[in-house]
Amino acid sequence: MKLKRVSTLAMVALMWLGGLTTAHAQLTTFAQFRETTPSVNAFSFTDTGPTSSFHVVNIPVEFSYGVNNGYNGTSTANIDATLSFDATVNGKPTGSGTGPFIQKFVDVNMVFTADTPVNGMTNLLSVDGSSTLTFFGKGNSASTDAATDGGDIVHFSSDFLNFTQTSTQDYALSFSSLQPTLSLDLNGWLNSFTASGTGTFASSPPPFYTPDGISLTLMSGGVIPLVSFALFRRRRTRK
């Protein structure tokens, strides 16, 4: 018996499901930043023993998106912004002598604020204060690794991207020109230093943006049932 054609809406929804499955297979870098003036060591680590912290207050950065977004669409152009960053040490670092050193941080809070609002909104990207990261360093360079699939806590939010469907959220920061070079104080804590920083942000599947504000959550509540209904009608027709 000749099969009847599945409705156009059902086909669109099935294609969307296929794309979502593919997206889950790998991380997508959706944003990155660098200091507007890299020669300025704007990141400051202050050695106060068990309360030592990394701190940045409203430093100028060049921020850019790598996916369609509500700020500048599909453009990958740099967006003038400011960055505030805070993180507190979680216990003493590992390593001795000249390193390498590994330091855990908790209460990580990072906010990128656009200099020019769009529709009154400025939050390009935020990492909330419950997040964690691991710092690796030696000499005058260091990096961080924060990955939810590695046991870290990472939560993203933005006025211009929707993260409701992301299952993995990661980011990596890179620090250079550390002054002075990494070392330990007499009690085994990292000594104070300053550094220049850059970073990238990724997720799986990538965040999305819909101009009309309809989220994939709503789609899953509306389009998916329509797919089921279309397939049900197809089976009834074949009987």
The model's pLDDT over 70-92, given as tens digits with 9 standing for 90+, comes to 999 999 999 999 999 999 999 99
Is the per-residue pLDDT at 51 higher than 90? yes
Task: Give the contacts of 167 (CB within 8 A, at least 6 positions apart).
Answer: 24, 148, 204, 205
b/e sequence 207-230, b meaning 16+ C-beta within 10 Å: bbbeeeeeebeebeeebeeebeeb
Q: Is it the case that residue 224 has pLDDT exceeding 50?
A: no
d(CA 123, CA 121) in angstroms, rounded, equals 6
Number of domains in the chain: 1
**What pLDDT score does 239 carry?**
53
Q: Model confidence at 148, in pLDDT bands (50, 70, 90)?
A: confident
The yes-or-no verdict on residue 22 having pLDDT over 50 is no
To the nearest whole percent, how much of the chain has pLDDT over 70?
Answer: 78
d(CA 38, CA 84): 16
**34: three-class secondary structure by DSSP:** strand
| Structure confidence at residue 187 (pLDDT) | 96
Look up the domain containing 143 and give its range: 27-231
* pTM over cut 0.85: no
In a domain, 21, yes or no: no
Give a three-class secondary structure readout of 53-73: EEEEEEEEEEEEECCCECCCE
Q: Residue 21 pLDDT more than 70? A: no
pLDDT (average), residues 113-136: 93
Among residues 152, 197, 190, the alpha carbon closest in space to that of 174 is found at 197
**Higher-confidence position of 129 and 23:** 129
Tell me if 12 is assigned to some domain: no
Decide if 146 is inside a domain.
Answer: yes
Confirm whether 179 is domain-assigned. yes
Show Cβ contacts of residue 141 under 8 Å, excluding neighbours closer than 6 positions.
174, 175, 176, 178
Domain contains 236: no
What's the CA gap between 188 and 94, in Å, rounded? 9
Encoded amino acid at 68, one letter: N
DSSP line for 128-195: EEEEEEEEEEETTEEEEEEEGGGT----EE-SS-B-TT-SEEEEEEEEEEEES---B-TTSSBPPEEE
Task: Tell me how far CA of residue 106 lies from CA of 11, 45, 237, in angstroms.
Answer: 45, 14, 59
Does the residue 9 lie in any domain? no
Residue 8 falls inside a structural domain: no
Cross-strand bridge partners of residue 170: 147, 202
239 lies in some domain: no
Reading the block at residue 191, the tokens are 């000594």
pLDDT tens, residue by residue, 155-211: 999 999 999 999 899 999 999 999 999 999 999 999 999 999 999 999 999 999 987
Contacts of 199 (CB under 8 A, 6+ apart): 32, 33, 171, 172, 173, 174
Predicted local distance difference test score (pLDDT) of residue 100: 96
Share of the chain above pLDDT 90, in %: 64
Banded pLDDT at 212 (limits 50, 70, 90): low
Please provide the average confidence, as pLDDT, over all residues in the chain.
Answer: 82
